[in-house]
Amino acid sequence: MLNVFLIIVVLLLAVFIIFRFIRKKQSEQVEEKVQVDDKTYTLELMKEFVKKRLDEITKINLYDIGLSEEELKRRKQKKYELKKALKGCTYGDVNDKKYVKELIYDLLYREYGVNETNVSKAISFDIPSLLTPQDKFEIILYMYKNEFGYEAMGEIIKKYNLDDLKYVEGEAKPCYVITSDEIERIYDQENFILTFTDKLNVVVQRIYQHYKGYSSIDEIRDMNIDGISGGVSGLPESFLSQVAQTDGDYLSQIAEHKVPRACDSIWIMFHGKSIRLAFLSFGSEAELKRVCQNIYKYNNPGQLSDTNGFKINEMKDGSRVVVVRPSMSETWAFFVRKFDVQRATLEQIIRFEGKDEAIDLLKYLVKGARIISLTGEQGCRKNNYAYGND
């Protein structure tokens, strides 16, 4: 009789322990309510929250939380889709990027508690004087993208003639550059009225681009432009640190004349013109390095290392990407070329006087299967000439 009683006690104790274990695992999946104050709604804290929640979602062991078969299947599919999207968005896949951004939006709105009152604590939408040129540009690009899609960047440039040669302070010759003053002027002229959804989407994009995206160039890379480069001009960090140790006066002169660093170097190629985006920056060499280490990874081309200091690859959308790093180059840098062959016609490309004769000559050379050599400087659209007769 005593043995039967002890067996019953042991069984009840085992059932109780198992029940408590399952309840504990389930409770671990419920995110504790975020303790909020004014400082909680900074971009950095929201980014850390998003990283933590996405990490929890992708690493959770679904078999330990006592789900039903149907719920287990649904959660497994959701987990698989998220892991796939988090990997694909770093390759330039716009669909995976959209999926991840929508999830970040839901996390911030439903769990973190972002609303119409506190969204402006991340970016000062309500006080234009506190907005940086980057803030204003991202708002402009977002609003134009809603109307023009991936033609947004081209529409902004054409509407405000941003691809015209202009003189800038400290330069003896005119150059192709888009300055902070031009972005300020465009923002003032547009006078956008942003809804809460618009504001939160801009915040989501800023968080995404520093988490899984390509930093300041993330949205620009998706646009229908000829290409984009980063880290290809300016002074490298190694040079600045060396100068700081030997000649502090020279370093102060560099700062006084606002000589750009390599991490401030962002160029786009638009209609064959290399245009510097002087109002944008990666912010630090570490951020430029992160972008360079991620932007070439599609189809696993191998490791970019000190002994193998460059990689040539393509991205998910067919763009060609070249990445270099020290010690092969002075700085971390990348070149992305986008080939829009579908829209390229000889009539669009050749615009000089006598173009009809030049086009006829090219057509007869191709029909006669003659060997043609196309030469010229970088950005003169040699590739478009090659495919213009397709």
What is the block-wise mean pLDDT of the chain (390 residues), using blocks of 10 residues? 69 69 51 57 92 90 79 87 91 92 95 91 92 96 96 95 87 89 95 95 96 94 93 78 57 58 91 91 92 93 90 91 91 87 63 79 87 75 54
Both structure tokens of 261: 């660093």
| pLDDT score of 238 | 66
What is the identity of the amino acid at 327? S
| pLDDT score of 13 | 73
Q: Which of 336, 189, 214, 197 is nearest to 280 (CA)?
A: 214
| pLDDT score of 172 | 79
Query: Cβ neighbours of residue 62 under 8 Å, at least 6 residues apart?
Result: 72, 75, 76, 79
Dist CA 159 CA 181 (whole Å): 16
| pLDDT score of 255 | 55
| pLDDT score of 382 | 67
| pLDDT score of 7 | 75
| pLDDT score of 271 | 84
| pLDDT score of 258 | 63
CB 274 within 8 A of CB 267: yes
Both structure tokens of 203: 């915040």
Residue 283: Cβ within 10 Å count: 15
Structural domain boundaries in the chain: 123-283+332-339, 343-387
pTM over 0.85: no
Both structure tokens of 299: 């189809």
Dist CA 71 CA 26 (whole Å): 13
| pLDDT score of 385 | 56
| pLDDT score of 141 | 97
Q: Pseudo-torsion of CA 305, 264, 42, 221, nearest 10°? A: -70
Dist CA 357 CA 4 (whole Å): 105
Dist CA 384 CA 376 (whole Å): 12
